[in-house]
Amino acid sequence: MADLARRLGTALPVAALGIAAIWLSRDFPPVPGQTYGPGLFPTLLGWVLTACAVGVALQPAGARATAATPRGRLAAVIYALAPAVFLLGWESVGWPILSFALGTILLAVGRVRWWRCLAGGALIAVLTWVLFPMLLRVPLPRGPLPFIPY
Amino acid sequence: MDALLRAFTMVGQPEVLLTIVVSSIFGLVVGFIPGLTATMATALLVPFAMFLDPVSAIASIVAATAMAIFAGDIPGTLLRLPGTPASAAYVDQSYRLAMAGRAGEILGINVVFSALGGIFGTIVLVTSAPLLADYALQLSSFEFFWLAVLGLSCAVFVVGDNVAKGLAALAFGLLLATVGRDYTSGFPRFNFDEADLLDGIPFVPALIGFFALPEILRTMLGDAAARGQPITQAGSIFSGMLRAVWHWRWNFLRSSALGTAVGALPGAGADTAAWTAYAVSKKLTRDPQAWERDSVEGIVDSTSANNAALSGAWIPALVFAIPGDTITAIAIAVLYLKNVTPGPSIFLENAHVLYAVFTTFFIANLLMIPLGWLAIRVAIPILKMPRQVLMAPLLLFACVGAYAVDNNVFGIGVMLVCGLVGYWMEHHGYPVGPVVLGMVMGRLVEEHLMTSLIKVQGDVTRFFERPIATALAVFTLVVWLLPLVRWVARRLRRSSLSSASGSV
């Protein structure tokens, strides 16, 4: 029963993606004078995905991965959330403060001593600033620190 | 002869040589940083190239891109993060062998075979450019369509025994490539009213997401496999390389030739060459078990092919002014800006510039060995640090790399989503490599499919009319049928064995 649930858990998202592709492609207008158009290729891919999902569901499920520790899971969640924090504070907070703060927090999650975390966070902020905005001319936002040179 | 001497004099000038060295170092740095591609290195060089003479300008592009393609192998091998898409094909195998304590050997193979592949491609470029470009020009959309399908078909077998999961991953990548404006009608597809998706899913952030984020998350989850210290042969990068070159000479020649040919086809660049060479290597290997387990054969093949493809891409660019890839498209624009017109007339009007470019290719590829060695020495201490400590700067570099492609924060969102999807896929046994391949080749496949369909008014039988197209289609079918034939053969062998043991 558990094997069936895992097989379905592996195959169903693929089937759903395939069906969604077919469904969303159905209203794409054809090329003038033809019976096919922008929907043809995605529809074909939708059918391939659905067929593959059937194939995957019929296979025995693979070996289960070893469970992570609660601390490991928490660390992974914090790392997965970090890019989302960048999205939220990109313009308002700016790269120097964000990279320093997140660099420090992410290092702390990796069980690094607090003073090394602070030094590491500062080093990351300075290095990325010198490399990207100053050398490669990537316009990273300065946030509330407009005096920092580009 | 006069033009040749003039070209040598031009390239031998100190400022041209200095430009080559500085551009090489720049290419190494850009290639080493995951998310920054060789194309990006070229694009960043253009503002500087405007201040240089034509030979120095082209020399800077040639040197930077050659180095960037090789440098992409360094983080690929050490951290499983391909520095450029051209390293993605063999990143899993390189990383696995590096984790087994063979990082020095793999990096040595990367630098030596990259340089040799580049030199091979340059020799082909110099000697047979008109022939190959002429052949590529004769191909129509039918042949291009079948070529692309053949390449994708081979790739499904690269992912291992599970064809269903490999094919699903490939179809997912192709589907991602359909996001944005349709190529034939301009109709927006799957963009959900998001303006940033009108031009498609940004490729580099997606690449960083699929390859970097799952690795970072796995490391932080504390997987035993992600905690190892891969470097054990720091001092022996070139040890045994002469023997390796001799041992893999036929693979090198085959893959470099393949890479050059693929590179010469418009639209197919170093990444396609690497994937194709990797697939061919797996198919043609004499020892499939060793190939999977501990052989460097696949790495030799693809690392030779991607650097050879760089030179190959210049064949149609220089001879017919048709860019082989995005890098040569930028280079053509630079040539025009410098009042040098690429095309057949370049042999008559600017032969010295042409020969100077050829000479630059040789110098850049020869420089790759000492400069590549230096780059590897700089990279190796990174792995002395605990893996989990490395993940914080890596994630921040990934975020800024995803942003830097278009200077758009949307790239970070794409990286995050693709990273989470990639993690789910790997957790459930789906390979992410074919997704990236599908994204690279999706446009090419659909464009040629639609063009061909419109040409023949939807009559699919006419896809088999032209002899080369028919041959490619038959070859594709053979590739598809091969697993079925193998399965039947296995069943027959098993049944004959069981009947033999039953009779005993």
Q: What is the pLDDT of residue B413?
A: 95
DSSP 8-state class, residue B98: I
Tokens of A51: 């067929």
Is the Cβ pair A90, B458 closer than 8 Å?
A: no
Torsion of CA B326, B330, B332, B335, to 10 degrees: -160
Q: Which of A40-44, A76-80, A99-103, B309-313 has the lowest mean pLDDT?
A: B309-313
Nearest CA in chain A to B183: A38
What's the rounded Cα separation, in Å, for the pair B324 and B322? 6
What's the rounded Cα separation, in Å, for the pair B40 and B205? 13
What's the rounded Cα separation, in Å, for the pair B106 and B90? 11
B458 contacts chain A (CB < 8 A): yes
pLDDT at B486 > cutoff 70: yes
What's the rounded Cα separation, in Å, for the pair B168 and B131? 38
Q: Considering CB atoms only, which of A65, A72, A99 is closest to B220?
A: A72
Q: What is the pLDDT of residue B209?
A: 87
Q: Considering CB atoms only, which of B175, B224, B388 is closest to A45?
A: B175
Q: What would the pLDDT profile of B361-377 be if each residue is shown by its tens digit?
A: 888 888 888 888 888 87
Q: Considering CB atoms only, which of A42, A56, A62 is closest to B164?
A: A56
pLDDT at B234 > cutoff 50: no
What's the rounded Cα separation, in Å, for the pair A99 and B435? 30
- Residues of chain B neighbouring A13 (CB-CB closer than 8 A): 424
Return left, alpha or beta for B303; rule: phi > 0 is left, psi -120 to 50 is alpha, else beta. Answer: alpha
pLDDT at A97 > cutoff 90: yes
B408 contacts chain A (CB < 8 A): no
* HSE-CB of A125 using CA atoms within 13 angstroms: 22
What's the rounded Cα separation, in Å, for the pair B459 and B470? 15
DSSP-based helix, strand, coil % in chain A, nearest 5? 70, 0, 30
Query: What are the beta bridge partners of residue B486?
Result: none
User: Please, which pLDDT band fits residue B325 given cuts at 50, 70 and 90?
Assistant: low
**Best mean pLDDT range from B124-138, B166-180, B321-335:** B166-180
Tokens 């928490």 belong to which residue?
A74
What's the rounded Cα separation, in Å, for the pair B446 and B261? 22
- Average the pLDDT over B160-189 and give the result: 88
Q: What is the pLDDT of residue B227?
A: 47
Nearest CA in chain A to B215: A76
Nearest CA in chain B to A71: B221
pLDDT at B256 > cutoff 90: yes
Is B224 buried (19+), middle (13-18) or exposed (0-12) by CB count in 10 A?
Answer: exposed
Q: Taking a C-beta distance cutoff of 8 angstroms, is the pair B317, B331 a contact?
A: yes
Top pLDDT among B200 and B266 is at B200
Q: What would the pLDDT profile of B64-122 be if each residue is shown by its tens digit?
A: 888 888 888 888 888 787 777 778 888 888 888 888 888 888 888 988 998 999 999 98
* pTM recorded for the entire structure: 0.73
What's the rounded Cα separation, in Å, for the pair B186 and B408? 23
Question: Within the 284-313 window of chain B, which residues sit less than 8 Å (CB to CB) from chain A?
Answer: none
- Average the pLDDT over B47-60 and give the result: 79
Q: Considering CB atoms only, which of B396, B445, B449 is closest to A124?
A: B396
Mean pLDDT of chain B: 81
Q: Can you say how many angstroms the Cα of residue A139 is from the centroid of all Cα atoms in its chain? A: 22
Is the Cβ pair A69, B172 closer than 8 Å?
A: no
CB atoms within 10 A of CB A92: 11
- Residues of chain B neighbouring A83 (CB-CB closer than 8 A): 213, 395, 399, 412-413, 415-416, 419
Q: What is the pLDDT of residue B323?
A: 62
Q: Can you say how many angstroms the Cα of residue B62 is from the centroid of all Cα atoms in its chain? A: 16
pLDDT at A41 > cutoff 60: yes
Top pLDDT among B487 and B360 is at B360
What's the rounded Cα separation, in Å, for the pair B103 and B303? 15
- Average the pLDDT over A55-79 and give the result: 82
With pLDDT > 70 as the criterion, what percentage of chain B qualifies?
85
Q: Which of A132-141, B295-304, B335-344 has the lowest mean pLDDT?
A: B335-344
Q: What is the pLDDT of residue A59?
A: 83
**Best mean pLDDT range from B34-38, B232-236, B326-330, B500-504:** B326-330
- Average the pLDDT over A100-111 and give the result: 91
Q: What is the pLDDT of residue B225?
A: 42
Is the Cβ pair B164, A52 closer than 8 Å?
A: yes
Q: What is the pLDDT of residue B268?
A: 64
Tokens of B330: 């930028």
Is the Cβ pair A140, B403 closer than 8 Å?
A: yes
Q: What is the pLDDT of residue B504?
A: 52
3-state secondary structure labels for all residues of B111-129:
HHHHHHHHHHHHHHHHHHH
B185 contacts chain A (CB < 8 A): yes
- Average the pLDDT over B214-236 and give the result: 62
User: Please, which pLDDT band fits residue A82 given cuts at 50, 70 and 90?
Assistant: very high
- Residues of chain B neighbouring A28 (CB-CB closer than 8 A): 182, 187, 189
Is the Cβ pair B216, A55 closer than 8 Å?
A: no
Alpha helices, DSSP H, located in B287-432: 288-293, 297-320, 326-337, 346-349, 351-379, 387-404, 410-427
Tell me, what's the ipTM?
A: 0.94
User: Please, which pLDDT band fits residue B416 given cuts at 50, 70 and 90?
Assistant: very high
Is the Cβ pair A86, B412 closer than 8 Å?
A: yes
Q: What is the pLDDT of residue A96?
A: 94
Tokens of B431: 């390979």
Q: Considering CB atoms only, which of A87, A112, A138 is closest to B407?
A: A138
Helix, strand, or coil here: B181? Answer: strand
Taking CA B305 as the corner, what is the angle to CA B300 and CA B311, rounded to the nearest 5 degrees?
Answer: 140
Q: What is the pLDDT of residue B34?
A: 64
DSSP 8-state class, residue A38: T
